[in-house]
């Protein structure tokens, strides 16, 4: 059998260690905690940036259409940059990858601080090709956590996301109101520099427990980060392609709703900026509670397959509820099950995919996972805009219900078929 047809476990057994890198358990825990801090800072700065770019774009004469182009550009850049960056992380190690991401974020904020024309505003988005702190953080956590505890460890990054969402939104709003866009962008650059210092101080050169390769792989393995074949070969491992297809199809409808939410909040719910801020804080708190205290307990009790089914089934019901909601209060009732479904779905699929690949390729696999989110952000505005303008908010919810219930039935049927074969 070729290496492409083997499972991750079979690859590991057939492999020959070429470099041992043992990290004891207390040090692993310390590194993971530092990574959580770096991820929290990165999300905080991302939401801080959200309080700058729209207002600066408006001053520079951007309309809604050109703002859409700006966001689509970011989605496209990260769509192709994610897998390449993941492979870069696997080849050159965690410290180099995170250092590159933090450095790119510093450049990103400095360009934002001096942006004085539409062209400069587009130019400041170019460094986003390297800005993948979150996938790099997930890679470190996946490398240093035990397989049976990986979903719980990855869910804690979602807790970081909730904290960063609240802190970044509040800090960005206050700084932008009092001191302006330029000062706020400079604060972002300083925060990114602090993250870079944490990386250089605490993150080891590599977090791979053991860099392994089969003899054949050792001869044929290319060190080029642009080797598309080395990236796409991961899709040929058993179950990987199916999980990716489920991740894209089931995730697209909810992704469309997330992309369109700012417009829905303004036009459908008629929310003012401060009211929208309160709603975002509600999202953040809900996400923190679910990812920090619920998902870990669930993964300890139930299998990943069962939780995947639960998240997709719940997402379909959330879509049905959103199709018939009439006001923001009714929407708030759907937020808790919506955040649970989204968080569980993302954590479980990421965990399943990283377990399906050799430990030497977790960065590339998580880069591919990140590219799925970029794909949703790229096509979401176009599809969501068409649905919203022509058929209203209810159409987005109904499509989410239909698509997710179809995926749920498909996975449930596969589960029963697999169980029946095992009994035979």
The domains found in the chain, sorted by start residue, are 22-209+233-417 (1.20.1250.20)
Residue 340: name the closest of 374, 356, 317, 369 by CA. 317
Quote the tokens at residue 105: 């974020």
Q: Token pair 């210092």 is at which residue? A: 197
Query: How many distinct helices (H) and strands (E) make up the chain?
Result: 18, 2
- pLDDT reported for residue 341: 94
- pLDDT reported for residue 321: 94
Report which secondary-structure segment, H or E, holds 212. strand 210-213
Cβ-Cβ contacts under 8 Å for 112 (sequence gap 6 or more): 49, 52, 53, 56, 121, 124, 181, 185, 188
Backbone angles phi, psi at 208, to 5 degrees: -70, 130
Q: What is the pLDDT of residues 181-211, one digit of tens each?
A: 899 999 999 999 999 999 999 998 888 765 4
Separation CA 353–CA 415 (nearest Å): 18
Residue 360: name the closest of 159, 212, 223, 238 by CA. 212
Quote the tokens at residue 318: 């959330």
Quote the tokens at residue 386: 């068409």
Residue 346: name the closest of 358, 357, 338, 356 by CA. 338
Contact between residue 137 and residue 105 where contact means Cβ atoms under 8 Å apart: no
Q: Token pair 């972002």 is at which residue? A: 188
- pLDDT reported for residue 360: 77
Separation CA 289–CA 282 (nearest Å): 11
Separation CA 176–CA 18 (nearest Å): 51
Backbone angles phi, psi at 15, to 5 degrees: -90, 165
Count of CB atoms within 10 A of residue 328's CB? Answer: 16
Query: Which residues are bridge partners to 406 per DSSP?
Result: none
Taking 50 as the pLDDT cut, the residues of the chain under it are: 1-20, 211-221
């Amino acid at each position: 059998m070729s290496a492409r047809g083997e499972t991750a476990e079979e690859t590991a057994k057939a492999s020959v260690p070429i470099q041992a890198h043992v990290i004891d358990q207390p040090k692993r825990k310390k590194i993971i905690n530092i990574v959580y801090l770096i991820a929290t800072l990165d999300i905080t700065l991302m939401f801080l940036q959200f309080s700058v770019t729209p207002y600066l774009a408006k001053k520079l004469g951007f309309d809604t259409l050109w703002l859409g182009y700006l966001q689509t550009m970011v989605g496209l850049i990260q769509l192709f940059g994610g897998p390449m960056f993941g492979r870069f992380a696997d080849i050159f190690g965690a410290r180099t990858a995170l250092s590159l991401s933090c450095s790119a974020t510093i450049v990103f904020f400095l360009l934002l601080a001096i942006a004085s024309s539409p062209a400069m505003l587009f130019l400041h988005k170019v460094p986003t090709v390297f800005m993948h702190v979150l996938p790099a953080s997930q890679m470190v956590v996946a490398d240093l956590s035990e397989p049976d505890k990986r979903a719980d460890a990855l869910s804690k990054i979602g807790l970081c996301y909730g904290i960063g969402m609240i802190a970044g939104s509040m800090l960005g709003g206050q700084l932008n109101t009092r001191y302006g866009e330029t000062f706020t962008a400079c604060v972002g650059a300083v925060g990114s520099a602090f993250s870079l210092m944490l990386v250089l101080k605490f993150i080891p050169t590599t977090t791979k427990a053991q860099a392994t390769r089969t003899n054949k792989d050792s001869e044929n393995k290319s060190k080029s980060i642009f080797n598309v074949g080395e990236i796409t070969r991961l899709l040929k491992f058993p179950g990987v392609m199916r999980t990716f297809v489920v991740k894209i199809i089931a995730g697209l409808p909810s992704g469309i709703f997330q992309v369109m939410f700012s417009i829905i909040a303004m036009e459908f719910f008629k929310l003012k900026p401060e009211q929208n801020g309160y709603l975002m804080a509600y999202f953040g708190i809900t996400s923190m509670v679910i990812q920090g205290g619920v998902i870990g307990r669930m993964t300890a009790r139930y299998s990943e397959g069962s939780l995947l089914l639960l998240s997709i089934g719940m997402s379909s019901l959330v879509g049905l509820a959103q199709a018939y909601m009439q006001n923001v209060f009714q929407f708030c009732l759907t937020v808790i099950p919506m955040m649970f479904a989204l968080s569980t779905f993302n954590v479980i699929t990421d965990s399943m995919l990283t377990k399906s690949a050799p430990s030497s390729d977790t960065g590339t696999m998580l880069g591919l996972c990140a590219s799925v989110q970029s794909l949703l952000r790229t096509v979401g505005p176009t599809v969501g805009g068409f649905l919203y303008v022509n058929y209203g908010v209810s159409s987005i919810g109904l499509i989410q219900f239909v698509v997710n219930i179809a995926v749920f039935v498909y996975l449930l049927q596969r589960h029963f078929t697999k169980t029946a074969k095992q009994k035979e």
